[in-house]
Homo-oligomer: A and B are copies of this chain.
Amino acid sequence: MPEMRDDREHALIARLAELLGGGGSQSAASPAVGIGDDAAVTVPEGATATSVDAFVDGVHFRRDTAPPASIGAKALAAALSDLAAMGATPGEAYVAVGLPEDVAEDECLELYSGLARVADETGTTVVGGDVTRAPALFLAITVVGRLPDPDAFVGRDGAEAGETVAVTGELGGAAAGLLLLEDAERAGAVDADTAAALRTRQLEPTPKLAAGAALAAAGATAVIDVSDGVAADAAQLAAASGVGIELELEEVPIQAGVAEVAQAAGLDPYDIALAGGEDYELLAVLPEPRVGEARRACSAAGVPLTPVGLTSAEGGVRIRATDGLRRPPPGFDHLRRLPSRGGPG
């Protein structure tokens, strides 16, 4: 197709390919052809899990608050989070990038270096891509993961009533980090290390790949990654499985500093924790007898697993607090509120 292809652009693509060449030599499949041919050739074993995610400036990130390396890192991490939720092992990634005129070559290389770092850390090989001009910076990342067989994955639709709902790690950190990036004065509410951890949580999330594999092995009946906020993601899992979910508000693990930053921003800390999104933790449903094993397996994978509720026969998500039922907060889509950007309406 007609796109950028003068000598300067060809040179940029060659540098990007070079940058990505080092990533993911641990990959299970052996790509026979990489960047530069019409398509990449792989020899998948077992079954594959494939997911695509798009990331758009002003919707999923903001170039004015996110360093270029973190944009690339977060885009790949968020895409890989879908593989984590399936219990799949990362294989290959294919990266389409739309570059506006005002993205300098250095900025583009930094973006790819962040992406390459996450690829390297997760054993993902970037074997294909496309670079084109676009009015706004975007990335569309397709990730391919491996499963030992087609029945080995954990979907969203296998939960039954009376099972335990649990979440990995801690929630709210990514949203609190965004609140700090939007207004640096809010950092006064916490110490410097806590603030830095919250910002990192927003800018460079870690896909919970080992925990996802552990949950699949431990017999989770349904898993979803916490990308839109645990309340919204629980609602999706509940609808897919045809069950309800009762969350115990005070059981939800909240990252250190979230409460203080939320209060500094005039927001309810629990709204941040329930609806903040972008934490890329995993929400899992397990038969009660498997919970202990799952907690030990996640712990061995370096991530705590905390029971936060139960599935029920009655559909929808209900949030129980010691002071009574709470209404699930709407999706905390901060970017919808940005005045000058093209966020969703």
Contacts and interface: CB of A to CB of B under 8 A. Distances in A.
B334 A2 contact: yes
A54 B2 contact: no
Contacts of A95: 52
A65 to B, nearest CB: 15
Contacts of A332: 2
Contacts of A150: 30, 32, 41-43
A78 B331 contact: no
Contacts of A56: 98, 132-135
A156 B39 CA distance: 10
A64 interface: no
Contacts of A147: 41
Contact of A101 (B51, B278, B345): B345
A37 B157 contact: yes
A277 B82 CA distance: 36
A50 interface: yes
A140 B54 contact: yes
A10 B3 CA distance: 33
A69 B223 CA distance: 36
A339 interface: no
Contacts of A4: 344
Chain A, interface residues (CB within 8 Å), range: 35 or more
Interface in A25-57: 30, 32-33, 36-44, 46-57
Contacts of A334: 2
A130 interface: yes
A228 B150 CA distance: 39
Given A50-B42, A59-B3, A142 B37 contact: no
A195 interface: no
A279 B58 CA distance: 35
Contact of A156 (B5, B37, B58, B278): B37
B3 A60 contact: yes
Contact of A53 (B130, B136, B225): B130
A298 interface: no
Contacts of A134: 54, 56, 59, 136, 138, 342
A304 interface: no
Given A1-B228, A41-B153, A60-B3, A52 B130 contact: yes
Interface of A: 1-5, 9, 30, 32-33, 36-44, 46-60, 78, 82-83, 85-86, 88, 92, 94-98, 100-101, 127-130, 132-136, 138, 140, 142-145, 147, 150-151, 153, 155-157, 223-225, 227-228, 232, 240, 277-278, 331-336, 342-345
9 contacts: A2-B334, A32-B151, A38-B86, A41-B47, A51-B94, A51-B128, A53-B130, A56-B135, A133-B342
